[in-house]
Structure 1
């Protein structure tokens, strides 16, 4: 109700009033209590960690048996005295009793020495157990290492066997390929030889046909001497020296004479060569011997190897040419 009234006064234009300051004593008390509690925890913690030094007590015992104290000597009996007068009775003398004999107490076991011996034995046992445990661990580790080494050795052996098997398979495959290639090569060589033989046979048949035709022409020319002489006259002046030189050079290149050339003079052999229009040699006839049969045969072989002979520049050939070779001019 008052708050509503103050608000209405404030709204109505009354002056603003500062609220009263709160009481500080509860806060101060709370702070003091917290500090006191913290101080108490510190004191308790310091006392808790401050261990008192352990006091060591030792008792020394003498193992020799102690003798009991000797009994007191007996007192002499008093001499009889005359009976006193009955007025006052004399005091009765008191006899001293011997002190009781103290029995020796049983020896007390030194607790500290027993505890020390017990701790020593326990420590020794613990060390032995630790040593045994270490030995077991080392033995286990050694067994594991041996197992790993054995596994590695087996793996390496398997890899080597696999590698050897692959190498053997590769070599067998290469050998098979090589064998197949040799078979193909032999088959190809055989086919080439067959094709070459067939071509040579066809060429030989062709040459035989040309030879036969040429022989017929020569034979027909031989029956008409006039025409042959006129042909020789007409063709003799037209022989090209360069053409003959090319034929001689080819024959010389195909001639091989292994004999000695150390002979007197310079022997010469001359051959008459008949050829076809294609340059193929039709016949070889020796017209002059050098006197050395081996040299004559070597030159004849060289002539046959030179077929077909070179042609002229215009592509024609001389049907019959004469070539001569001297021994010392062949090298």
Structure 2
């Protein structure tokens, strides 16, 4: 299954710049300026200067008007005259009537339409403010959501890159291990091949040496056999109770050891209680090592099964025991009676 990769794989990640706040700030300033201008125009349009009313009170009754008092003359300058003339007493004038107090009329109440219009405008302004606040809050939430989504996306891309890098590293490691294992197997195979070649060469050399040694031994044995045959051709007769040497002198212990060895190797399952105690005589030729070269039946016992059992026992006893000095009798006549196996 192919691995999915993002469309911007390999492109370095960058954080988008935060939107400028200058347009929002200028818009807020313009809106507040328009609101203040609207309020100022409304107040100036409805506010009027209160009207001052002046009233005069007339008394309809007839009264004798007194002569008005003349204003006082200014005091003359002080002169160095000895005694100034007495000034005439000033004529008192009646006080002027106090003007009535000015009654200020209350400012007229605004018309219901104007109040309703102001209320509508106030509500509209509050609605605009609320809408603007909600818009700003929505923009803020949207920016936060975008940042969170971008952060989540960046985290997912980072994890995906780490996973891909880990998979690639594992694949590279497995590849190196496989190459190393293949190299080791190849080296082992080469070493085994070399070892087999060396072993084959050694075996070939050993076989050659063994064949050479066997050939030398066979040649030696052939020579011994030829010598023995020549020697036996000149000396062909001797008798004995069990085993006798064809030489001038025999060793009783040596003959007893040979008889015991042949007897222990002979197995005759037939009946040995036969009248006359039949006897078989065999002539045995052996090498200096005691190995039997040949066995010949000289005189049969009259029981072929017994003859064959004794002959097989002589062959199984090879190599025959040696004398105390390590030598052997090259030719022996072996005699065995049937009752010797009771």
Calculate the TM-score normalised by the size of structure 2.
0.50
CA contact (8 A) 2:245 2:329 kept: no
Partner of 1:220: 234
Where in structure 2 are the equivalents of 1:1-331 lying within 5 Å?
104-105=113-114, 106-107=117-118, 108-110=121-123, 111-222=125-236, 232=246, 234-236=248-250, 238=252, 240-244=254-258, 247-248=261-262, 252=265, 264-265=270-271, 271-287=282-298, 288=300, 290-291=304-305, 299=313, 302=316, 306-307=318-319, 309-321=320-332, 322=334
In 1, Cα distance between equivalents of 2:194 and 2:308 = 47
CA contact (8 A) 2:288 2:327 kept: yes
| C-alpha displacement of 1:315 | 1.2
For residues 11-37 of structure 1, the C-alpha deviation after alignment (integer angstroms, 9 at most, x for no partner) is: xxxxxxxxxxxxxxxxxxxxxxxxxxx
For residues 121-170 of structure 1, the C-alpha deviation after alignment (integer angstroms, 9 at most, x for no partner) is: 21121011101110111011101101110111111112112212222222
Change (3 A) 1:242 1:182: farther
Partner of 2:36: none
| C-alpha displacement of 1:271 | 4.1
Unaligned 5+ runs, structure 2: 1-107, 239-243, 274-278
CA contact (8 A) 2:254 2:322 kept: no
SS at 2:283 equivalent: strand
SS at 1:235 equivalent: coil
CA contact (8 A) 1:248 1:323 kept: no
Greater RCO, CA 8 A, separation 6+: 2
Q: Which has the higher helix share?
A: 1
For residues 266-309 of structure 1, the C-alpha deviation after alignment (integer angstroms, 9 at most, x for no partner) is: 69986432123343433222344752898678546535xx34x3
| C-alpha displacement of 1:103 | 8.9
In 1, Cα distance between equivalents of 2:337 and 2:144 = 114
In 2, Cα distance between equivalents of 1:138 and 1:325 = 112
CA contact (8 A) 2:280 2:336 kept: yes
| C-alpha displacement of 1:178 | 2.1
CA contact (8 A) 2:258 2:321 kept: no
For residues 21-69 of structure 1, the C-alpha deviation after alignment (integer angstroms, 9 at most, x for no partner) is: xxxxxxxxxxxxxxxxxxxxxxxxxxxxxxxxxxxxxxxxxxxxxxxxx
In 2, Cα distance between equivalents of 1:157 and 1:276 = 75
In 1, Cα distance between equivalents of 2:195 and 2:162 = 48
SS at 1:240 equivalent: helix
| C-alpha displacement of 1:242 | 4.6
CA contact (8 A) 1:269 1:290 kept: no
In 1, Cα distance between equivalents of 2:261 and 2:196 = 41
CA contact (8 A) 1:275 1:282 kept: yes
Unaligned 5+ runs, structure 1: 1-98
